[in-house]
């Protein structure tokens, strides 16, 4: 069965609060107003710094960039993605994790693209994820996967990436 966010869980929910550099931060569901800043953070810094993107030099290839941006935008529509912000209203997005639940009943579509750079980049992700049957391996009906974790460089190295991953754990427990 295709996974949908349970209607009993309000959107946006704040999943986790913590302090970094003496500032109170929180990890919450990405709201409609946060979609654009979140995507821009990914476009600017994930494409620049994430090791495979950096290695391939995705920023030199607009068509591959467009594929990746579309993947993020399509996935964000599931309303499972999260952001990290200062724990006060109207704060800018400083961290993003684009999340998706993959279910046993999902329609299997072979990955295909004419874009050579996108084929290299997402083809590797596709190949790795098909390399093991996660449902059989862990005896689960669905699992959480991610298509991008990024923290604003101005905030790196103070545990925000780790706290975003911890918040994912809290959510997964509540969603079941």
Q: How far is the CB of 114 from ligand COA (least distance, A)?
A: 25
Kindly state whether residue 156 participates in binding ligand COA, applying the rule CB under 6 A.
Answer: yes
Kindly state whether residue 161 participates in binding ligand COA, applying the rule CB under 6 A.
Answer: yes
Q: How far is the CB of 107 from ligand COA (least distance, A)?
A: 25
Element (H, E) at 16: strand 14-20
Kindly state whether residue 12 participates in binding ligand COA, applying the rule CB under 6 A.
Answer: no
- 3-class secondary structure, 26: strand
Indicate which single residue of 134, 158, 166, 172 sits in contact with ligand COA (rule: CB under 6 A): 158
Indicate which single residue of 30, 35, 39, 50 sits in contact with ligand COA (rule: CB under 6 A): 50
Kindly state whether residue 123 participates in binding ligand COA, applying the rule CB under 6 A.
Answer: no
Distances (CA, A) of 85 to 61, 75, 111: 30, 20, 34
| CB-CB contact of 48 with 148 (8 Å) | no
User: What is the full DSSP assignment across 103-142?
Assistant: ETTS-------S-HHHHHHHHHHHHHHHSS-HHHHHT-SE
Kindly state whether residue 21 participates in binding ligand COA, applying the rule CB under 6 A.
Answer: no
Nearer to ligand COA among residue 104 and residue 146 (C-beta): 146
């Amino acid at each position: 069965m295709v996974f949908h966010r349970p209607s009993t869980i309000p959107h946006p929910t704040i999943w986790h609060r913590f302090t970094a550099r003496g500032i109170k931060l929180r990890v919450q569901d990405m709201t409609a107003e946060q979609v654009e800043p979140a995507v821009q953070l990914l476009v600017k810094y994930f494409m620049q710094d994430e090791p495979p993107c950096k290695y391939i030099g995705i920023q030199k290839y607009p068509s591959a960039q467009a594929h990746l941006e579309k993947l993020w935008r399509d996935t964000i529509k599931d309303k499972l993605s999260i952001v990290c912000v200062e724990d006060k209203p109207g704060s800018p997005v400083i961290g993003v994790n684009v999340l998706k639940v993959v279910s046993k009943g999902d329609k299997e579509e072979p990955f295909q693209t004419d874009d050579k750079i996108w084929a290299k980049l997402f083809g590797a992700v596709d190949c790795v994820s098909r390399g093991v049957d996660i449902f059989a391996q862990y005896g689960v009906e669905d699992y959480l996967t991610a298509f991008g974790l990024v923290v604003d460089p101005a905030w790196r190295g103070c545990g925000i990436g780790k706290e975003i991953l911890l918040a994912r754990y809290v959510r997964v427990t509540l969603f079941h």
